[in-house]
Each structure stands twice: as structure tokens, then as C-alpha cells.
Structure 1
Amino acid sequence: MVTVAILGGGISGLSAAYYLGKLARSKTISKVILLEASSRLGGCIDTVRLDDGTIFERGPRSIRGQGAQGYNTLQLAEELGLSDHVLPIDRSHQATKNRFIYVNRELCRLPSGPGSLLMRQPPFSKSLVRLGWREPFVASHKVEDETIDSFFRRRFGDEIAKYAIDPLCRGIYSGSSQQLSMKACFPNLLEWEQQYHSVIKGALLAPKKKAPDAQGSRLVERYKSEHWSMWSLDTGLQKLPETLAMKLSQSDQVDICLDTPCTGLEFSDTTGKVKVKMSDKHEEVDYVFSALPARQFAVLLPSGHHQLAALLRHNPSVSVGVVNLQYEGNVLSTQGFGHLVPSCEPSNVLGVLYESCIFPVHNRPKGNNTRITCMMGGAWFKEMFGEADDVNTQEFGEIAAESIREQLHITKKPFRVIAGVVKNCIPQYQVGHTQSVQDMATYITQQSLPLSLIGASYDGVSINDCIHNTRLEVEKVLPSIEAMAH
């Protein structure tokens, strides 16, 4: 019989335990031990449910449905019995169509359809079609990797890099387009330039990927037929890891250990087993999945694996200040998903989410009220606020309220402010990241380590990426894990 340890109880660690149970042959894996250092599961998925019925998200608040990754998450939700709890947003919804950037002290709506690409919209000096028409004629560069900012300035010019791509990177990664890797973050676009000498030509000429099979999932069929853009759950996204944990707790094979950090690993050359150390005991296991942030996992490795530890330490992550604010009445004059603030603007805010517009059912049921969330810091956290451990969260709340007053012209004071810092929550895929991840995989293979690296540190930061990549990794290594039983 085989014993597996999973380090980290975020969505990747929980998914690993789930797929091991679902895909493994009966009784091949006798025990799965999931170690979580904190007192809760779900990692960065963190829903705040208040007594008056208000729901806030401290982490991600929605999931996209397209592609193999999106279909996989919908299928998982269906398997967990969550279909009746899904909150869909279709493509005609204001939160889908209306997204803004804040430039020169005003909100500027970003183009959202073919027609809007032909119109000039501030802060752009021309329509996006006119700004981008030269791209097919720009000479391509044979580069292994480069920053996102460098790529878009080369191919599309300064305005698109400054007002479209820069805020996009702040919204997805809370990071700087001048540091993030093009190959890791937008691999298709870089590949199109290499193969077709143009992003636009590549988009038109590259073979279209076959639409993934819905695999009989009614929820996926609903997503397609009802034209969803994104979705959440009725009591917040934390319901997903909660339901996963409940499902796992019903299995005699799975042992979930909260408040139990792993303090170190030892790989045995003679037995092939791994000693997983905890503060007051240890477990000998046959295989380890690490769903911990890369730098956090690096310190657990024994000294003989300094090469792998060095690669892991090259994976930085950033902290994000999150401030949830609630106002009496309907105080939002602008409806949409929210707005992002380009790094060229003098603001401590990365972006503002119009929560009441996105998922109004999460509002307090009694009386009109408005929910707004501010995101702050990210790659600029230290220069703006100092060390994450030393932040005064009350000051965070005051900065957020003042930013909303200035940017959304809401003069009313919020009656509720929940401020905090989510530390080291978003990995930063810097130039060379893809090669670094490949080098990690090569090292693990060459050293025959019974180890898999999963989670947001490696190949995608979204919920969809984490779940789908974990499933692929389980499918890949499961035959060798099962062979250990013989």
C-alpha cells in the first residue's frame, strides 16, 4: 500500500487529494496525509460572511468558464454537487461589458467589442485599430523571453503598453509589466510572433484549438448555451474548497491536518521513501505533492538539494492589501466590473472592484447598500507601505476610502471597513520563469525524487489553472505511484 503526503491545503492541495481518490485504482493508495499550516483550508480563496448577510471576498471572487481549464472547474463543481449554487454572469451583463481604467482623474471605459475598437476612446489618442494597424509590419525579434512591457511596446506602441497592458498586469498579477515574463504570462502571443512574425497574423492564421469536450457535464452545457462570462457561488467562492474538504473528510483514506506545518523533508536513497517532518513527529511516505509557494517549499529541502532550492527561490511573490468597504444606499454612479489604475498614475490603489454590480446577491439583504473592494500594494507594496508585517490596517482603510472618494466621487463615509494584507499571495513570473520551471522538472526527474510541484507558483495563477494543472500532474504521476504498491 502507498502513502502520499500533500503539503498545503489551498485549492491545489485539496484538488490533488480529490483527484488521487477519484483516479487511483481502488485501494492502491492506502493513505493521503494533507498538511496545512494554518487553521483554515482554501489558501487565497477567502470569503467573509457577515451576520447581516453581507458577503465579501478577500481573494478571487469569480471564475471564468472557457477552455479546457474552465470546463474542468465546472465539471468539478458539478461532481461536488454545487450546480444549484452557481451564480452565473452572462456576456451581456454590465460587469462583463464595462471595465475601466482611471487616468488623469477620470474613469475611461475600455473597448469591449468589435465596434468599440474602431472608435477613439480616452485615454488613447486614436482608436485601437489605428494604434495597432502597423503591428503586422513590425519586424519580429527572435527572443527566448522578454518582459511584457518590452514586447507590447515593440509591437503595438507606447499607448497600448501604458494604458491597456500595464493595468491588465496589475489586475491579474498585482505585478509590473516591466518585470513579468511574456513567455510565462502570454505564451501564445510570443509564439505567434515567432511563427507568423505578427501577433495579429498569428491570431488569424494559427490553427484554432479544438473546443474541449464537455464530458457530459450539464454545468458546462449551461455555460455554453447561456453564454456565461464568469461565475461564482451563492455563499462565496470559499464554498468550493469547503465542499472539497467535506468530500475528502468522508474518505477513510484522507487525513486532513490543520495547524500542522511541515518543517522539513528527508529523501532516502535506500528505501525511496520520504520523511515528512512536523514539529513533534514525522511520517514516512512514498510520494509528496507540494502545493506550497515555491520559496516556502525551498526551505524544507535537505541541504543536498541546494540546486533545486535555488531554482525555487527565484520564484518571488507579492503581498496585496485588500480593503472591503460597505456604504448605505446605492452610491455607485458607474456600473461595471471595476477599474484599474495604471502605474503611471499617482495612486496607492491598483484597482477597485464594484462588488455590488458583479454579484448583487452578496449584498446585505435588508436595505440598499453598496459593496466595493480596493486592492493595493502588489509589486509596489514595500515602496508604498513598507514591510507587510508592519502595516497599520486602519491606515489601509483610510487610504482606500479616500481613493474611492476621489476616483468614484463617493462622498458618503462607509459604515463598514474590513482591511488586511494577504501576504505573498500572487507569484510573479519574471523573465526566465518558464525555463526555471523546466529546470526544476528536469532536476526532479534526474534525481528520481518522489515529488510533484503543484500550485500557482509554476504554471498559472488562476483557480482554473491550479485545479487543471493539478489534475494533469496527478494523471501523469499516478502510474508510478501505483507501481510503488507492488
Structure 2
Amino acid sequence: MPPASIAVLGGGLTGLSSAFHLSRRFPEAQIIVLNKQTRFGGWVRSDRVQLNGSGETESSVLLEAGPRTLRPNSKPVLELASIVAEGLYQDQIHLLDLKSSLITVPKTSPAAKNRYLFSPEWPGIQPIPTSFSSLLFSPLGRILLPAVAREPFRPRNRPPHLTDESVNSFLARRFGVKFAAMFGSALVHGIYAADSRKLSVRTAFPTLWEAEERGRGSVVAGFLRPKKQKVEEYYELGDVPEAMRDVSVYSFKNGIGTLTEALVHDLRQKNNVKLYGGVSVTGLRANPISKKFEVSISSNETLHPTHVVSTLPLPRLRHILSPSAHLPHLTSNPYSSVTVVNLVFPASSSFPLHPAGFGYLVPRPSGGYSSHDSGILGCVFDSSATASQDSSRDVVKLTVMLGGPYPISPEHLEVPTILRHLSYHLGVQLPEPLIVRVHQHQECIPMLGVGHLDRMAELRAALHREPWGGKLEIIGAGVRGVSVGDCVESGREAGKSWTT
């Protein structure tokens, strides 16, 4: 029996995606989205900031506090953008016009081809090799080339009955300790803001695990062998894939927030959807008599939906459940806190402030994470990747990410301290910034530890037992993955089991 009413807990990207797809799947159901903040969108935040121009003119820059670019390989995101855009066209509302709002970075551009690493072993940031000649002459190539070349000849060394391991353990086992410490830790810093020695490889990078199995012990051989053909799920993509041909990453003129704003706008037009901002969920209980849920909210009201989708952080969900309601593994994974610092500088006419490219990542320090380190996980060269978002070409934008496994103090976030570390990394003396924006995201990224997939399978099994009876779904970054694509796809899958 389809749901009569649905409460969606959380109004971030996963919650908005859930409400959007649920409203299409169950057009007769009443859907309520409850969000603690008055602003919807969660960690997605795009702000346009005005600059003082010469004379009477003004210019502006677009600053992202959360995700800033998207990859075209995520079909759920492309579908979502396509459907929302199509619906807005029909209503003659051009909030999201893909053809005019889309910003793409071609695979041939420096922002797509050039990525860097910083290590105190060498001066300045080093380009990650992308050609055979660069492999031969790059300091990083001396680690990368032998690690990859020798991997197919390493014996199969996955321990029997091993069902998961850390990213660091996997890469060290197949490519060597130095490779894992240098490249693996930097990659995990950039995506998960986590310690690669604690992150689950099967959860974070399942293609690596699958390639090792396909290659009979060799990851490289596995990637060279064809995958088994899977039944492709249908996505309503329209002509969007054509626009994404030969694209490395993309965004919108007004940032990733364009997508969440379009979702909010679309949902507000639907008669069966209500968005409530500034409302905290204080309790969640399944009533075995009424076969409905009791959702307590901060206004001292109690809602009684027949079904619930929770996109809340798992520890937060555990906090609002009644003491008698036990669900496993809600507090198994810690969450990383990340500080995002947007810096806007005047462009230099004498020398560039950074090389052409997407940005650089910083591997974990050899001595372990310490408060004496800079705390910097990486830096994005926004001026290269998304320069067309800005109306001024006389500025340089950088975005710095700090925190994660590093202990961060107020001193780490002082502008002179950040500038000193960046100047050392880039090998240039950075000028005083025109704009500084600091966003401290507390416990924003779940650290999906070893064994996460098994734990989530146990959680799903518990949700199908009483008192939940399959009517409560728990989704979001803490369950499936942290990328924009993961969050959108989780929302797309919400409620599919309720159709039968």
C-alpha cells in the first residue's frame, strides 16, 4: 500500500532530492520536509560577493562554501538538473536554464589536466604526472611509475576471508607503502577530509576492490579487463549528455547552489509538498497501535506520517529516537569537521599567484597528524576552474580546506597564518586578500570506517523488522557516500520499496 503521508527529516541536498523524487513517485501522498536551518541546501552554499569596481561600476565573485564542481559521470545529478529544468521551462520560469547557466571545464583545459601535490620533500607544489615524459622527470614519477609498473607482477596478497580494509592498507598492499602514504592519503584528504588509514576502501573506492577481484589479484590488470555488462538503469537525461561530451567537471554561473535553489523552488510549487525551515526534530517513535510514526518537533507539535525518510546525521538520529527503539551502528562512524576559507586577491601583473590547474592536495605528514602542522588538506584554484562565474577578471580566487584529521586551533585560522603556509606551498608571496570568508563546518563529513557496508546491511535489516516495518528509510552521506552524486542518488532511491 503506497504511503499516505511522508516526513523527510533534513533539508539538505539528500532531503531535497528525496522530496523531489517522492513527490513524483507518490503524487497523492502528503510530504513534509523538516529542516533545522531556515535555509535549505545543507552544506551546499553559493554566495555572490560584490567587489568595489573602478568609477561607478561594480563587479562580483562567486564563492562556494561547500562543493564547487560536479563530475558528468553522475547520472542522478544530470537527471535531476534535466528534470527540474524541463519542469521550469513548462512553467515559463527560467530559474535554471542549463544551456545558459552551465559552466563546463573541458578535459583539455589546464584546470582538468593539471593537478598538484605538496610535500615538504620537494620545494613548492609538484604536478601529478599525466604523460610518460612527465613520469620520467617528475619527483612524483619516481614514486608513481615503479609502483604502478610493478603492481601486476606482485603476487595475489589479499588475506583469505578479508571482506574490507582501509584505503591505506589496500594501496600499500598492492602499490607499496610510499605510494599509499603520498597519493592515497592526499586523495582521501581531498574527498573525505579523513585519515586513509581509517577509511573503508570498499565503501570509498569500490572500483579498486572490484578491479583487484577482476584482475585475479592485480588492480592494474583488473582495470585493463572488460567489466561484466550490467543492466543500465533508465535516467531521464534529455539532451544533457550531449552538453557534457568531453567535459571534465561542470558547475553553474551562480554555483552549485543553483541546483538546490531550483529544487526548493520546484517543491514549493507542488500542492502535496510542504517545506518547513527553522524546525528541529526532537523525537521519532513508531506507534505500534496506529501503525504511524510520531515525529516531535521544536514547536511542541507532533506529526503522524505513515512513512519517514531520515537524512539526518546518524548520531543525530540516534539522539531523537525513543530509548526503547534500538537501531544498530548509528554511532559507529565519527564525523570530520572542515573549515573552508575563501580568499580573493588582486591579480598580479608581474607574476601569477598560482600555476594553471585545478589545485593541490597535501598528503598526511610522516610523523602523524599534529597541531604543529598547517592543518591544510588542500587548495582549489578557483580562478582556473570556475573563472567564468565571476564578472571581474582582475582578481584571483583560492579556496583552502583545513581540518579533518588535523587538530585545528584558532591560530590555524588566522589569515596571516594561512597566507604564510600558502605562500610557502606556492612559492610566491601572496598579497593581502581583498575578501576573506571563513566557514566552519562542524561534523560535516562522515568517516566511513572499515566494515561500513556490513554495518549498513545490518541496519537495513533492522529497519525491516518491527516496530519499523520497512516504513522508515535512513539515507544520506553517513550511509551511502559523501559526494553530491551519492546524495542525489540516495534521494532518488528513497521509497522505492514502498511501491509494492
**Consecutive unaligned residues in structure 2, runs of 5 or more:** 52-59, 89-95, 367-372
Match of 1:451 in 2: 472
Match of 2:41 in 1: 42
Match of 1:477 in 2: 497
- The answer to whether the 8 Å contact 1:56/1:362 transfers is no
Q: Which amino acid in the other structure matches residue 109 of structure 1?
A: P
- The answer to whether the 8 Å contact 1:73/1:464 transfers is no
CA 1:379–1:82 in 2, change beyond 3 Å: closer, same or farther? farther
1:135 & 1:69 partners in 2: Cα distance? 34
1:324 & 1:17 partners in 2: Cα distance? 31
Q: Secondary structure at the match of 2:140?
A: coil
State the Cα deviation string for residues 447-467 of structure 1 (Å, max 9, x = none).
214111121111111111111
- The answer to whether the 8 Å contact 1:321/1:375 transfers is yes
- The answer to whether the 8 Å contact 1:11/1:43 transfers is yes
- The answer to whether the 8 Å contact 1:5/1:285 transfers is yes
- The answer to whether the 8 Å contact 1:124/1:159 transfers is no
State the Cα deviation string for residues 67-124 of structure 1 (Å, max 9, x = none).
54454345345445431311111101111101000112321101235x3575342134
Q: Which amino acid in the other structure matches residue 167 of structure 1?
A: A
Residue 39 of structure 1: how far off its partner (Å): 1.6
Question: TM-score, normalization: structure 1?
Answer: 0.90
Match of 2:394 in 1: 368
Is 1:86 the counterpart of 2:102? The answer is yes
Q: Secondary structure at the match of 1:350?
A: strand
Match of 1:425 in 2: 444
Once superposed, what is the RMSD of the aligned Cα atoms? Answer: 2.1
2:411 & 2:279 partners in 1: Cα distance? 28
Is 1:101 the counterpart of 2:117? The answer is yes
Q: When the two structures are aligned, how many residues end up with a matched partner?
A: 461
- The answer to whether the 8 Å contact 1:214/1:220 transfers is no
2:233 & 2:487 partners in 1: Cα distance? 18
1:464 & 1:326 partners in 2: Cα distance? 28
Q: Which amino acid in the other structure matches residue 12 of structure 2?
A: G
CA 1:315–1:76 in 2, change beyond 3 Å: closer, same or farther? farther
Decide which of 46, 62, 71 is 1:64's aligned counterpart: 71
- The answer to whether the 8 Å contact 1:401/1:414 transfers is no
Match of 2:294 in 1: 275
Q: Secondary structure at the match of 2:196?
A: coil
2:421 & 2:342 partners in 1: Cα distance? 13
Q: Which amino acid in the other structure matches residue 85 of structure 1?
A: S
Residue 206 of structure 1: how far off its partner (Å): 4.2
Is 1:111 the counterpart of 2:129? The answer is yes
Match of 2:261 in 1: 242
State the Cα deviation string for residues 45-73 of structure 1 (Å, max 9, x = none).
01122133211000000010115445434
Residue 396 of structure 1: how far off its partner (Å): 3.7
- The answer to whether the 8 Å contact 2:101/2:253 transfers is yes
- Percent identity between matched residues is 28
Match of 1:291 in 2: 311
Match of 2:283 in 1: 264
Match of 1:336 in 2: 357
Match of 2:91 in 1: none
Question: TM-score, normalization: structure 2?
Answer: 0.87
1:246 & 1:78 partners in 2: Cα distance? 11
- The answer to whether the 8 Å contact 2:84/2:266 transfers is no
Match of 2:200 in 1: 181
Q: Secondary structure at the match of 2:320?
A: coil
Match of 1:388 in 2: none
Decide which of 181, 200, 204 is 2:224's aligned counterpart: 204
